Amino acid sequence: QKEVEQDPGPLSVPEGAIVSLNCTYSNSAFQYFMWYRQYSRKGPELLMYTYSSGNKEDGRFTAQVDKSSKYISLFIRDSQPSDSATYLCAMSVTNTGNQFYFGTGTSLTVIP
């Protein structure tokens, strides 16, 4: 079983839709959860960072962590064509060091 599972999609939505992206994980020791956006042929860029369970909102983006279910989500409101990218979740046990576990990424296309 992989440490982190993420549906690769592809996911296609009309402009303005609410997008829900999800990851599940198996290691209950994960405490730090991140979402990255990766445009084609580019490196990932950090979108959201959360610690432990709860919600975090930043503009049109909301990250949710449910540690009891080992499930994290990223919601995008009022999706725009510029949101079209691959979204990767990542998680780690500690807040130092480099041991990130990445999901495979979900490919999202927002249709104008």
Partner 1 sequence: GAVVSQHPSRVICKSGTSVKIECRSLDFQATTMFWYRQFPKQSLMLMATSNEGSKATYEQGVEKDKFLINHASLTLSTLTVTSAHPEDSSFYICSAQQGTASYEQYFGPGTRLTVT
Site membership for partner 1, residue 88 (CB under 8 A):
yes
For residue 28, report the phi and psi dihedrals to the nearest 5 degrees.
-70, -10
Let me know: does 19 contact 13? Beta carbons within 8 Å.
yes
1 is a site residue for partner 1 (CB under 8 A): no
Which DSSP category does 28 fall into? Answer: T
Q: Applying CB under 8 A, does 63 fall inside the site for partner 1?
A: no
* Residue 77 near partner 1 by CB under 8 A: no
> Which residues of this chain interact with partner 1, rule CB under 8 A?
4, 6, 8, 32, 34, 36, 41-46, 49, 88, 92, 94-100, 102-105
